[in-house]
Amino acid sequence: MMESNVFERKDPFATEISSRLYNLTIGVVLCWGFGINWLMVSSIPLDSILSVSPLVFLLGYFASCLFGVYLFSKSENPLVSFIGYNFVVVPFGLIINIVVSSYDPNLVLEAIKVTGLVTACMMLLGTLFPSFFARISGALTIALFVVILVELFQMFVLGIHQEWIDWAVVLIFCGYIGYDWGRANQIPKTLDNAVDSAAALYMDVINLFLRILRIMGRK
C-alpha cells in the first residue's frame, strides 16, 4: 500500500460534480479495473506469464505500479489519472492470474463474494466513522510495513509462511478501505479525485481479495 497526496487535495477552485456522479465515477472506475483483471485471467495463458524471467517480471511489476501511482497521485487531470490507474491494474491482473490458477474456480468465486461483503461493510464504517480511520491511518502504514518485513524474512530466511500473516494483512487492508473511502467522501468531489479515490480503493480491495483467497484455500 502506497500513501499519496491524493487525499490532501483541498483546492477550493476545483470544479466539483454532484455526489451521485462522483460516487458513480468511483464505481465505474473500480468495475473497469476488476473487468480488465477478469479479462486477463480468462484470456492470458498462465504459461505465457511464467515463461517470463522472475527478475524481469518483478522489475516490470514494480516499475509499472510505481509509475501508475505517480501518475494518478500527482496529476489533477482525470484522463492522466485514469491512465496511471491502468498502469496499476495490468500488473495486478498478472499477479491475480498466477494466484487464482492454483485454486478451484468455485473457491475463487466464494472469495470474491466474501471480499465484496467485507468491502461493503468497511465502506459503510468509513462513512460513519471517518475520523476514527483517519486517526489509525499512521498505525496502519507502520503495521503493514512491519508485516511485509516479517513475511519476507519468513519466506526467504526461514522458508515458512505462518497463517497469522494473512489475517494481519486482511485486517490492515480492511482498515485502509475504511480510511480511503472515508477520505474520498471528505475531499472535493471532482472527477479527478473520483478516479484517484477509485485507484486507491482498487489496490485495497485486490490485496484484501488475495489474502482472503489464501485463507479460504487452506480450509
Compute how many other C-beta atoms are within 10 angstroms of the C-beta atom of residue 54: 8
The rounded distance, in Å, linking the Cα atoms of 73 and 11 is: 14
Q: Where are the domains of the chain?
A: 17-218
Single pTM value for the model: 0.91
Encode the chain (219 residues) as per-residue pLDDT tens digits.
Answer: 444 444 455 555 568 999 999 999 999 999 999 999 999 999 999 999 999 999 999 999 999 999 999 999 999 999 999 999 999 999 999 999 999 999 999 999 999 999 999 999 999 999 999 999 999 999 999 999 999 999 999 988 888 888 999 999 999 999 999 999 999 999 999 999 999 999 999 999 999 999 999 999 987
Distance CA 100, CA 91 (A): 14
Residue where the block lists cell 483467497:
213
